[in-house]
Structure 1
Amino acid sequence: MDAERARTLLEAERAEVEDMLRHIGSSGGDDREAEQDLGDSGDTADALESEGVDNAVEASLRERLAAVERAEQRLADGTFGLSVRSGQPIPDERLEVAPTAELTVEEASSGS
């Protein structure tokens, strides 16, 4: 995959993740304010569960953002599109779908 296409895919991935992170950050405050307005009548367990889900989603998005940053670094280093484990090429078709892929499909599915 040429560097310009890789850069375009990574920029799109970064924009998507950052947009979702902003959405979580902006909606989280509204949810907390609504829970405070409910006072004792609000269901604390539901509020805690919702906060836990939000935290898990945010952590997942932050990991995706870190994966984008690692892929951007590989692009800068000239190793983008190569497995970080074996150095084998990652097919362009895989990178089109998952531009942050660090392993070939075989390596990722073997788990070792």
Structure 2
Amino acid sequence: MDPGHAKELLAAERQRIEEALGRLTAEFDPESPDGPAEEADTGDQAADLVDRQRDLGRIEELREELEAVERAEARLADGTYGISIESGEPISDVRLERIPTAERTADEQRAYERNPL
């Protein structure tokens, strides 16, 4: 894949993640106008707690995705972007278009997900 195009894909991915993180973390800021309101009803409080737990999980996922972008940017900088971290085989451009942070070929990723380290 052309390094310039890879850089654009990674920049777009970073922007998507940072915007989503910004929206979600603003909900946890008590000074934020979008922050949670005080709820008097126990049922509302329980629903709010469930929503907050879900949001915290999503924040963690987004932080992991951001770390993957940073690793991909480092591989791009050192000339190893698009090469599997496992086998050294090339990762297809089609896969990198869909998943710009891909670290493994599709077959290697499936095997990794079945038996993670």
> Fold conserved (TM > 0.5)?
yes
Which residue matches 2:60?
A: 59
Aligned alpha-carbon RMSD (Å): 1.3
Which residue matches 1:79?
A: 80
| Larger relative helix fraction | 1
* 1:33-69 Cα distance to aligned partner (Å, 9 max, x none): x1x2x23x24232121111001001001001100000
Which residue matches 1:21?
A: 21
What is the letter of the counterpart of residue 24 of structure 1? L
Cα distance in 2 for residues equivalent to 1:42 and 1:83: 51
- Structure 1 residue 49 and structure 2 residue 50: aligned? yes
Q: Percent identity?
A: 44
- What is the count of residue pairs matched by the alignment? 108
Unaligned runs of 5+ residues in structure 2 are: none
Which residue matches 1:104?
A: 105
Q: Give 4+ residue runs of structure 1 displaced > 6 Å after superposition.
A: none
Relative to the length of structure 1, the TM-score reads: 0.89
Relative to the length of structure 2, the TM-score reads: 0.86
Unaligned runs of 5+ residues in structure 1 are: none
Higher normalized contact order (CA 8 Å, seq sep 6+, divided by chain length): 1
